[in-house]
Amino acid sequence: MWRHLEYANNWGLTGLIKFYLIFTQKYFMLMALILMLYEKEKKAMTNIPEEFIKKLTQQIGDRFIFSDPEKLEAYNFDGTDFTFLPNLVVEPETTEEVSKLMKLATEYRVPVIPRGAATGVTGGALAIHGGIILSLLRMNKIISIDEIDMTAVVQPGVINFDLHEAVEKKGLYYPPDPASYETSSIGGNIAEDAGGPHCYKYGTTRDYVLGMKVVLPDGTIMNTGVQTRKGVVGFDLTNLIIGSEGTLAIVTEATVRLIPLPGKIITLLAFFPDIHALSATLYGITKNRIVPAALEFLDPASVNTIRDRISIPVPKDASTLLIIDLDGESEELDRQMVDVGEICLDNGADDVLLADSSGKRQGLWDVRRKLRDFIKEGSKFKRAEDVTVPIRKIPELIEGCEEIARKYELMNHNFGHLGDGNVHVNLTHKQKNEQVIGQAKYAAKEIFELTVKLGGTISGEHGIGITKQEFLGIELSQPSIELQKKIKQAFDPLNILNPGKIFPGS
């Protein structure tokens, strides 16, 4: 599997295969030797000296330092198909322990990879050069919830769902809700600026983080931002670190903003004959000054995937589905429900249904959250992208994706957040082999080019990690990439925090 070998971190099998391939071509023997020396160099960097482990153990104890093969293997994956074995796993319980680890990692030049719940889908939490996996999941306390300021202070290992539950008990709401919210951590959400269905109305993780405690790559503990609901002192380091995919600093505490829990929530389903009606429908809704809490769409292939999994009858000819959440107070909601239903019908909906019990709502959202997995069933290969375009360009993007998928003989399912133009493009194939992987890569490149041409971005929420770095230049200009690399250097001059992520060759 060439794709795996590209990222392999030792020169056992990788080195030998590369050597063999190049050697048999005779001309490039010298190049093979240089390549192997380079691989050896990389391995040397990731060797963790006994002395390092001894010092770390003296400083933080041996309870949460692991090097046994089973434990290393348990930390070799994330939400991608790739696996990379770390050399060590450390699971600290305090900011001070994280700081001590980073001071030693700096002294010994050992790469450290922060890791939350490992649901990331672009490889951000993988130890691609070996080194230390720093699991933040033991730091999982909700430190405080302030009902007057409407803020909460949380550790990074808190699972998004647990924060939702805890604040909702007090009549408060933390809106960011990635589809992985039952498993992903707040630290991972911050590092990826995670979004979700309800981010259309309420914004993404970024909009809710007021301040953080972070550990810099050299072990310095620093506060960013504020504990108050606003503040403008100095550069906005909080927002620089949010979405930086664990490459600038390790988040060990966050103060998040909360809002009042909406009184009531209802869900409508509207079935349309095709995707073209979507933008007009959204325009109709916003023109009526209605902002749905969520506005998710499923294309015909995705509708067929869930047809038999939801208890709600899907009209036989329906090909495109809109799931609309409305939230607010009862009277206002009733008016909005009628208006939105009419707008859908005016724009060609075949039918509009109300999920009239919380059980039905939950059931529907459960199916929607698992759609990624359902699409994968029956396919040996899947490549998923999360491109985002201006809303009115969604139909053009989807038609383009379908054409590109056909060209490369791939199946294509599209679904996503209509309200913020975020389209999850899922390319699948019954087989997984080099040809299919290569075809999907070409297809992804064309999809990214189309997205940028339509005024969009190549990632709305999943980030770049290792899977998209070769396409970074499609969207970002060279000066922008160079400036960002300088920022990384200012935070991490030795490149020990999550090296090899976001920027090609980093």
Ligand X SMILES: Cc1cc2nc3c(=O)[nH]c(=O)nc-3n(C[C@H](O)[C@H](O)[C@H](O)COP(=O)(O)OP(=O)(O)OC[C@H]3O[C@@H](n4cnc5c(N)ncnc54)[C@H](O)[C@@H]3O)c2cc1C
Nearer to ligand X, 79 or 211 (CB): 79
List % helix, strand, coil for the chain (3-state, nearest 5). Answer: 40, 20, 40
- Cβ–Cβ < 8 Å for 407, 360: no
Question: Which residue type is seen at 497?
Answer: L
The correct pick among 251, 318, 322, 349 for binding ligand X (CB under 6 A) is 251
Site for ligand X in 196-225 (CB under 6 A): 196
β pairing state of 151-154 and 142-146 = antiparallel
User: Is position 414 an interface residue for ligand X (rule: CB under 6 A)?
Assistant: no
Nearer to ligand X, 52 or 491 (CB): 491
The correct pick among 192, 299, 385, 492 for binding ligand X (CB under 6 A) is 192
Q: Which stretch binds ligand X (CB under 6 A): 39-47, 182-190, 299-307, 324-332?
A: 182-190
* CA neighbor of 478 nearest in space, from 454, 499, 504: 504
Stretch 133-172: interaction string toward ligand X, x if CB under 6 A? ---x-------------------x----------------
Which position has the token pair 């970074």?
A: 472
Question: Least distance in Å: CB of 350 to ligand X?
Answer: 27
User: Is position 99 an interface residue for ligand X (rule: CB under 6 A)?
Assistant: no
Question: Least distance in Å: CB of 253 to ligand X?
Answer: 9
The correct pick among 86, 195, 400, 421 for binding ligand X (CB under 6 A) is 195
Nearer to ligand X, 78 or 97 (CB): 78
Helix axes 394-407, 434-453, angle to 10 degrees: 150
Residue number of the CB closest to ligand X reads 188
User: Is position 116 an interface residue for ligand X (rule: CB under 6 A)?
Assistant: yes
Stretch 439-478: interaction string toward ligand X, x if CB under 6 A? ----------------------xx----------------
Question: Least distance in Å: CB of 378 to ligand X?
Answer: 17
User: Is position 500 an interface residue for ligand X (rule: CB under 6 A)?
Assistant: no
> What count of other Cβ atoms lies within 10 Å of the Cβ of residue 437?
17
β pairing state of 132-135 and 112-115 = parallel
Separation between Cα atoms, residue 252 and residue 234, nearest integer Å: 21
Nearer to ligand X, 195 or 300 (CB): 195
User: Is position 420 an interface residue for ligand X (rule: CB under 6 A)?
Assistant: no
Question: What are the φ/ψ torsions at residue 461 (nearest 5 degrees)?
Answer: -155, -20
- Cβ–Cβ < 8 Å for 71, 89: yes
Alpha-carbon distance values, 68 to 52, 71, 89, 116 (Å): 16, 6, 9, 20
Question: Least distance in Å: CB of 296 to ligand X?
Answer: 10
- Using CA atoms of 219, 224, 228, 230 in order, give the dihedral in degrees to the nearest 10: -170
Alpha-carbon distance values, 386 to 61, 185, 331, 425 (Å): 42, 20, 36, 6
User: Is position 178 an interface residue for ligand X (rule: CB under 6 A)?
Assistant: yes
Concatenate the DSSP letters of all residues of 78-129 into one string: -SSS-B---SEEE--SSHHHHHHHHHHHHHHT--EEEESSS--SSSTT--BT
Question: Least distance in Å: CB of 254 to ligand X?
Answer: 9
Number of residues that bind ligand X (CB under 6 A): 36
Nearer to ligand X, 119 or 439 (CB): 119
Nearer to ligand X, 39 or 91 (CB): 91
Put residue 144 in one of left, alpha, beta given phi > 0 → left and psi -120 to 50 → alpha.
Answer: beta
Question: Least distance in Å: CB of 418 to ligand X?
Answer: 14
Q: Which stretch binds ligand X (CB under 6 A): 69-77, 189-197, 226-234, 298-306?
A: 189-197
The correct pick among 119, 279, 451, 467 for binding ligand X (CB under 6 A) is 119
C-alpha dihedral sign at 33, 35, 37, 40: negative
Question: Least distance in Å: CB of 26 to ligand X?
Answer: 41
β pairing state of 351-355 and 259-260 = unpaired
Separation between Cα atoms, residue 475 and residue 451, nearest integer Å: 9
The correct pick among 92, 188, 421, 456 for binding ligand X (CB under 6 A) is 188
Stretch 339-378: interaction string toward ligand X, x if CB under 6 A? ---------------------------------x------
Put residue 378 in one of left, alpha, beta given phi > 0 → left and psi -120 to 50 → alpha.
Answer: left
User: Is position 117 an interface residue for ligand X (rule: CB under 6 A)?
Assistant: yes
Q: Which stretch binds ligand X (CB under 6 A): 41-49, 119-127, 323-331, 332-340?
A: 119-127
DSSP state of 455: T
User: Is position 115 an interface residue for ligand X (rule: CB under 6 A)?
Assistant: yes
Q: Which stretch binds ligand X (CB under 6 A): 39-47, 242-250, 279-287, 336-344?
A: 242-250
Footprint of ligand X on this chain (CB under 6 A)?
A: 78-79, 113-121, 124-125, 136, 156, 178-180, 184-185, 187-189, 191-192, 194-196, 245-246, 250-251, 372, 461-462, 498
